[in-house]
A = this chain, B = another copy of it.
């Protein structure tokens, strides 16, 4: 299995699939090709959410504002999974999530033979590399045997690929942890950060859902906002706080865009205060 993720839109990913099919008949599964353009941080967030649902696989992920520059291309082993991606940090948060254990993440660079005229690295570098990794895994017997795939076998297969070499200092993206204030054991405030905006304008924060679940109201940067399990709990156009499918607190608008209503962008800080405390 090879999963494919990019910000390429359409029909570019099909060119990557064609290239892969020249190397291997491994199953291809699209994760998304409409990720925010040129935003490795958003890609890292969504991949960290989605990839751990899969059994061991090769994941080809290309969101690459640095195309045309001399950033490296990476092959990252995370347990029995392998991520093929540009060296801009997007691979690291999902790799840590896939490995479960930071010790089980191993990063290698691909020797890229890049004449000046090559311009579509997704097709010309990342897709064929993902295909060759898949073939190497299959040949090494680390085939798609599901959750039982042995990380050691995957590591050995990668070690056998001559054009991979250990990465010295890969770029990393680290998502901040929220800061939780407590008084007598009760949460009185959480200072979080916006991790991503989804395509509906929902504002995804780094605040775990448990901190608002069961409450009726919460102050978002001072403004009292209802907490609800469904958008329909508030009128169209009204703001709400909910817990997204990813488990984090979202600042949303029913039938509208939360990013506009809350004036929040990726990287912004956001303070959540339970209403029973500060009112």
Interface residues of A (CB under 8 A from B): 1, 3, 5, 9-12, 14-19, 21-22, 25, 27-35, 38, 46, 49-55, 57, 65-69, 116-117, 119-120, 122-123, 146-147, 198-200, 209-210, 213-214, 229-232, 243-247
Copies of this chain, count: 3
- B50 adjacent to A30 (CB under 8 Å): no
Additional A-B contacts beyond A3-B14, A21-B54, A69-B229 (6; CB < 8 A): A11-B31, A11-B35, A18-B53, A21-B146, A119-B243, A123-B245
Give the complex CA separation of A1 and B67 in angstroms.
31
Give the complex CA separation of A245 and B64 in angstroms.
13
What residues of B have a CB within 8 angstroms of the CB of A32 in the complex?
Answer: 10-11, 14
- A50 adjacent to B14 (CB under 8 Å): yes
- A230 adjacent to B68 (CB under 8 Å): yes
What residues of B have a CB within 8 angstroms of the CB of A38 in the complex?
Answer: 231-232
What residues of B have a CB within 8 angstroms of the CB of A198 in the complex?
Answer: 9
15 residue pairs bridging A and B, Cβ less than 8 Å apart = A1-B21, A10-B34, A11-B31, A11-B46, A14-B30, A14-B31, A14-B32, A17-B53, A18-B50, A18-B54, A21-B146, A65-B230, A69-B230, A116-B213, A119-B245
A14-B29 contact in complex given A21-B1, A67-B230, A69-B230, C-beta closer than 8 Å = yes
Q: Which of B22, B209, B214, B246 contacts A146 (CB 8 A)?
A: B22
What residues of B have a CB within 8 angstroms of the CB of A21 in the complex?
Answer: 1, 29, 54-55, 57, 146
Most chain B C-beta atoms within 10 Å of own C-beta, residue among A15, A31, A65, A213 = A15
- A244 adjacent to B119 (CB under 8 Å): yes
Give the complex CA separation of A155 and B180 in angstroms.
52
Closest to A116 in B: B213
Give the complex CA separation of A29 and B53 in angstroms.
18
Q: Which of B69, B200, B230 contacts A9 (CB 8 A)?
A: B200
- A11 adjacent to B5 (CB under 8 Å): yes
Give the complex CA separation of A12 and B117 in angstroms.
36
Top 5 nearest A-B pairs (CB, nearest first) are A18-B53, A68-B229, A120-B245, A11-B32, A18-B54
A22-B69 contact in complex given A32-B11, A209-B117, C-beta closer than 8 Å = no
A53-B116 contact in complex given A12-B245, A14-B3, A245-B123, C-beta closer than 8 Å = no
